Structure formats: structure tokens, C-alpha cells
Amino acid sequence: MPGRRPDGRARSTRRPLGRLRGWGGVAAMAVACGLTASLTLLPLAHGGRGDSGPPEVTGPGVGTGVHVKADSCENPEASLRPSGADGPSIDAIKARGKLVVGVDQNSFRWGYRNPDKRVIEGFDIDLAKAIAKDILGSEEHIIFRAIPTNQRIAALESGKVDLVVRTMTINCKRIQQVAFSTAYFQAGQQVLAPKGPGITGYDSSLNGKRVCTAEGSTAYEALEKNSFGAVFQDEHDGTKDDKDLLTVPNQLDCLARLQLGEVDAVVTDNALAAGQAAQDPAVELKGEPFTTEYYGVAAKLGNDDLVRRVNQILVQYRQGAWTKAYDKWLKADLPGISGPPAPKYK
């Protein structure tokens, strides 16, 4: 029988590493060996060639705009109206000859390094390449920088990246820190846990359970508002003494800890959780999504010309390329999505 923790709860029995599969298994093995699955900000290889390229963007966009007041936060997804005109931000990108984009390389189907092709690929990567192609004439004129979840805003503020395309939720807090495009995907927070009885979703079944989230994520903010008695905060959270056991720099670290039995559940976007469940048949999504969230392309505050250009690209991208990318990367794990959210403008 496993021993007891100081708080009286039984210690979890770790699942054998032999059961781990895919990227999740790689991350879990890294944790088991005392390594971190999180990433520092560093240049990655260029986008690569072959069938990982973005879908072709064709035809003018006819997205439906919703007019809202600029100072309102009832609709944080409202963005600047599209424009194809150049400005200071785009001029700087053209002078450099490269678009620098902050991405994930650990999120299966969204942004991950394919070990066979040795390229980074996924739904977000296709969109980033389409932006580079429109601005610079080729999807090859792009530099990807891998950034942890908790460094997305800092990377923009410091100028280390031009854009972040990394399953980044638009919300009222973040629009005070960065500028967002219109939404390109709708998701929601959901619980990921081992199959079987016990945890049933975002409810009282989380009471006393160890729940992992990524630092700076909307999942962490949701648990701050209502944790249902879950244990989700590390001692010294957010300080240099933070041990990153329950709140981690990268979301994939949570899957590794779940597979190792170090946490009981993960709360994250269902779009990401579906990809994680696809990597490990022993875990599944529990309950229903308990929020509605929208992903946007993020830029530094004040780079209005770049935001307007991205919105113009998205108008075109929604006309067919979005569906092509969805069918390729997400449909198998997130079926039933008919198309991207309609854009909202201010």
C-alpha cells in the first residue's frame, strides 16, 4: 500500500514509464531524469519544406464584423479593422527580411517538432507561415522562437518576437498588455484526467486533488476563482523559489506529471487537452468545457499596422485555408467544428 502524505492523502502510485507514448512520453521521461520539459527563448529552425507548408490563401475575405465600442471590455475579441497598408512595424519586418514568431514546439497538432521530418509544424504553424508569406512573399522568410506559456507577453514587450501564434487566449487582462488580432479559434477550459471513475470534470470531484496548470494561463486564473478544493498552487508560486510542481512554465509539463502520477488532473484548453489525450490512451477529457475562449495572434501594443495586416490576412485565411488546416491537424481530435469564429471589429 502507498504511504500517506503529510496532509493525510494517499500518495499516488506512479504509472510505469513503459506505458507512455508520443510526445507526452518523451516529456515524462525528461521529468523522470530530472530534466525540464520547459523551453527557454531560443531560435528554432526555419519553417521547413515539404507538406508542412501553409494552405494557399485565395480570394477576398467576407467575414462578418461586429461593431463594439473601443473602450469596452464586454467584447475583448474586438480588434482593429483590416488593412493591407504598410506601416512602421511592417517596414521594420521587411527591412530585416524575416518575420520572427513566438510559438510552441511541444503542443501536439498545434505547434510541435516532428521528430521524423525535423521541422516544427501544426495548426498555429500553418497560420504563422501564411502571415509570413503575405508580408514577405514566402513562408520561408520566418524565424520561429520557442517560448514558454508564461513568457509570451514578455517576448512581445521586449521585442524578441514580432508576433505570438501560440494558442493564446484573448481576454480583458491581456488586451491591456498586448494587441490581438481577431479570433481565429474558439476553445474552452476542460479537465484532463486518467480514465475511470473519480474525477468527473470541473466540479467537486476535484476536492483534494492535485491539479496542474501552466503559469500565466487562463486555466490557472479559473482555479484562482473557483478551485472546488483542488490543490493547484505551489509553495512560493511565481517566485525564484517556486518548484514548478503544480504550476509549470509549459503546458506539456502537466501531461508529463499526470503520466508520472505526480498530479491527479490537468486543467487546460480543451483544444490542447484533446491533442494530449490523443498521445496517451490512458487519459481523457472529463465533463464539458466550462469557459468559452478565443485564440488570437498577439503583437506588441502600438503595432497597429501589423495587427491590421494580420486581420486582413485572416479575412482571406478564413475563406478556405482555415478549413484545410483544421482538417489536417485538428479534426481527428476535435471533430464537429464547422469553421472559425466570425471576426469582431472596433
Q: Using one digit for the tens of pLDDT, what is the confidence trace for 297-314?
A: 999 999 999 999 999 999
Cα 253–212–41 angle (5° rounding)?
40
Q: Return residue ranges of the chain for CATH 3.40.190.10.
A: 42-48+64-186+294-329, 189-286
In the prediction, which pLDDT does 252 show? 81
Instruction: Please state the rounded mean pLDDT for residues 157-177.
Output: 97
Indicate if the pLDDT at residue 55 is higher than 70: no
What is the rounded average pLDDT of the residues 214-220? 89
Q: How confident is the model at residue 235 (pLDDT cuts 50, 70, 90)?
A: confident
- Nearest-CA neighbor of 279 among 4, 82, 20? 20
Task: State the Cα–Cα distance between residues 341 and 66, nearest whole angstrom.
Answer: 12
CB 142 within 8 Å of CB 101: yes
If one compares 173 and 54, the residue with the highest pLDDT of the two is: 173
Give the tens place of pLDDT for each residue, 93-146: 999 999 999 999 989 999 999 999 999 999 999 999 999 999 999 999 999 999
Q: What is d(CA 290, CA 269) in angstroms, rounded to the nearest whole number?
A: 10
Find the helix or strand (DSSP H, E) in which 135 lies.
Answer: helix 123-136
- The amino acid present at 141, given as its one-letter code, is H
Distances (CA, A) of 185 to 31, 134, 275, 344: 31, 20, 15, 13
Mean pLDDT of 211-223: 92
What CATH homologous superfamily does 42-48+64-186+294-329 map to?
Periplasmic binding protein-like II (3.40.190.10)
Contacts of 53 (CB under 8 A, 6+ apart): 47, 126, 129, 139
Q: Which three cell numbers stand for residue 344?
A: 469582431
pLDDT, average across residues 195-212 = 96
Position 72 confidence tier, pLDDT thresholds 50, 70, 90: low
| % of the chain exceeding 70 in pLDDT | 78
The CATH superfamily assigned to 189-286 is Periplasmic binding protein-like II (3.40.190.10)
